[in-house]
Structure 1
Amino acid sequence: MAELTAQQKIEVIVKALDSKRAEDIQTIKIGDLTIIADYFIIANGTSNIHTKSLAEEVEFKMTQLGIEPLRTEGYQGQNWIVLDYGDVVVHVFYKETRDQYNLERLWSDGTSVDISQYIVKE
């Protein structure tokens, strides 16, 4: 299987999060600001169980395409789960934890990416 571009990864990840009703999915281009990654995808669940199921769905959809995360963190606490796919890093928060860390503000120099075409409208 060919390596996916960052844009293709974003599409798969956002659709996976959206399919499980993640709240407030944001994608931020940070490649000009850091070597950590090119993009952050940030979303939150409404409970610890929801947060865990969001992360598991992303992992499942990516694994189906032959892509495993370079590393994962946070499954134990389920307040903030990080899935590192190299150029794209996914942050799945429990809502209160997301409000506390406010990554969007920390990375406000990044560029917001329009992902509306991947979100299913109710």
Structure 2
Amino acid sequence: MTKQTLLQMAYNAVEDKKAEDIVVLNMEGISLLADYFLICTGNSDRQVQAIARAVIEQSHEAGNEVKSVEGFDSARWILVDIGDVVVHVFHKDERDYYNLERLWREAPTMEI
């Protein structure tokens, strides 16, 4: 699976679960962690978990390994590492507080 296909799969998964404020940062040449960060917001703990679960399930169905999932139980900021793409699913309040877009402001945003 190409990294662009993986990114599109993750984007579709979060969009299907009605994630809000979806932003994709192109991290190529900026971070060794991943080529893309997909950042999105859920309005409740339950929705944040549903969004992350959708990414995990779609990744498995596509035959892609999920490398790591962090923060699932607390449902405030769930990180799903699917290789070249790291998906950050935030609860509304935490999204504003951590502001990854500002932290990684040198990374260009991408339209999907």
TM beyond 0.5:
yes
Gaps of 5+ in 2: none
Q: Could you tell me how far 1:85 is from its partner in structure 2?
A: 1.4
Question: How far does the alpha carbon of each residue in 1:41-94 deviate from its partner, in whole angstroms, 9 at most, with x for none?
Answer: 000100010000000011111111111211110011100000111211000010
State, as a whole percentage, how many aligned pairs show the same letter. 38
Q: Distance in 1 between matches of 2:76 and 2:27?
A: 23
- Give the TM-score of the pair, scaled to structure 2: 0.97
- Give the TM-score of the pair, scaled to structure 1: 0.89
Q: Could you tell me how far 1:26 is from its partner in structure 2?
A: 0.6
2:9 match: 12
Which protein shows a greater Rg?
Answer: 1
1:119 match: none
Q: Distance in 1 between matches of 2:96 and 2:68?
A: 24
Q: How many residues end up aligned between the 2 structures?
A: 112
Question: How far does the alpha carbon of each residue in 1:11-36 deviate from its partner, in whole angstroms, 9 at most, with x for none?
Answer: 11111111110001110001211111
Gaps of 5+ in 1: 116-122
Q: Distance in 1 between matches of 2:48 and 2:30?
A: 28
